[in-house]
Amino acid sequence: MAPRSELQARVSRSCGNCRAVKRRCDRQLPHCGQCTRTREQCSGYRDEWDLVFRNQTDDTIKRTMERRAPKEDQAALPPNCNSRPLPSPGLGSSLDELGVNYFLYNFITGSQSSSRGYLDYIPAVYTADSHHPSMLVASMAAIGLVTLANTTRQPQLAKHARAKYSEAINQVNIALTSPTESVKDSTLMSVISLGLFEYVSDFTSWARHVRGAAALVVARGKSQFSTSAAFPIFNQVRADMVAVCMYSGQPLPEDMCELQDEASRHMDTTNAFWRLGAVATKCTNLLWGVRNNRREFPWSSLLEQATVLQNELQYIFGILSMESGYITSQKPGGDAAIFYNERFDVYRNSWAIRVWNNTRILQIIVCDSIRNIVNQVLVTDLAPIIRTPMELRLLDSQEILSKLGKDIIATVPQALGVISSASETDHTIDVSSDINGSAGYMMTWSLYTAGKLSVMASEPRQWIIQRLQDFGHNAGITMALQLVEDIIKIDQGADRESPILISGPFKR
Task: Give the chain's length.
Answer: 508
3 is a domain residue? no
- The whole-number pLDDT of residue 281 equals 93
19: CATH: 4.10.240
**In this structure, how many other beta carbons lie within 10 angstroms of the beta carbon of residue 357?**
24
368 is a domain residue? yes
Do residue 250 and residue 117 come from a single domain?
yes
Do residue 111 and residue 158 come from a single domain?
yes
- The band of 131, judged by pLDDT with boundaries at 50, 70 and 90, is low
pLDDT digits (tens, 9 = 90+) for 57-67: 445 445 444 54
Do residue 262 and residue 307 come from a single domain?
no
The arithmetic mean of pLDDT across residues 81-94, rounded, is: 41
Rounded CA-CA distance 37/496 in Å is: 55
CB of 183 closer than 8 Å to CB of 224:
yes
50 is a domain residue? no
pTM: 0.75
143 is a domain residue? yes
Do residue 379 and residue 405 come from a single domain?
yes
Do residue 346 and residue 491 come from a single domain?
yes
Rounded CA-CA distance 99/57 in Å is: 9
76 is a domain residue? no
Do residue 137 and residue 262 come from a single domain?
yes
54 is a domain residue? no
Do residue 323 and residue 453 come from a single domain?
yes
pLDDT digits (tens, 9 = 90+) for 351-409: 788 889 999 999 999 999 999 999 988 988 888 898 999 999 999 999 999 999 999 99
* Structural domain count of the chain: 3
Beta-strand (E) ranges in 403-452? none
Burial readout 136-154 (b: 16 or more C-beta within 10 A, e: otherwise): bbbbbbbbbbbbbbbbbbb
The residue segments making up the domain with residue 315 are 278-423+433-507
- The whole-number pLDDT of residue 453 equals 92
Do residue 22 and residue 103 come from a single domain?
no
Provide the mean pLDDT of the chain.
Answer: 77
308 is a domain residue? yes
Q: Does 350 score more than 50 pLDDT?
A: yes
Do residue 260 and residue 285 come from a single domain?
no
Strand, helix or coil at 499? Answer: coil
57 is a domain residue? no
Q: Could you write out the DSSP letters of every residue in 260-321?
A: HHHHHTTS-TT-HHHHHHHHHHHHHHHHHHHHH-SSSS-HHHHHHHHHHHHHHHHHHHHHHH
pLDDT digits (tens, 9 = 90+) for 278-290: 999 999 999 998 9
Phi, psi of 13 (to 5 degrees): -110, 15
- The whole-number pLDDT of residue 424 equals 42
Do residue 361 and residue 437 come from a single domain?
yes
Q: Could you write out the DSSP letters of every residue in 225-248?
A: GGSTTHHHHHHHHHHHHHHHHHHH
Do residue 121 and residue 40 come from a single domain?
no
Rounded CA-CA distance 352/356 in Å is: 6
pLDDT digits (tens, 9 = 90+) for 318-340: 999 988 899 999 988 888 999 99
Rounded CA-CA distance 202/483 in Å is: 9
Strand, helix or coil at 329? Answer: strand
Q: Which residue has the higher pLDDT, 75 or 315?
A: 315
Phi, psi of 242 (to 5 degrees): -60, -45
- The whole-number pLDDT of residue 45 equals 64
The arithmetic mean of pLDDT across residues 60-89, rounded, is: 40
Do residue 179 and residue 256 come from a single domain?
yes
Q: Does 114 score more than 60 pLDDT?
A: no
Element holding 328 (H helix, E strand): strand 327-330
Single-letter amino acid code for the residue at 76: A
Rounded CA-CA distance 167/138 in Å is: 7
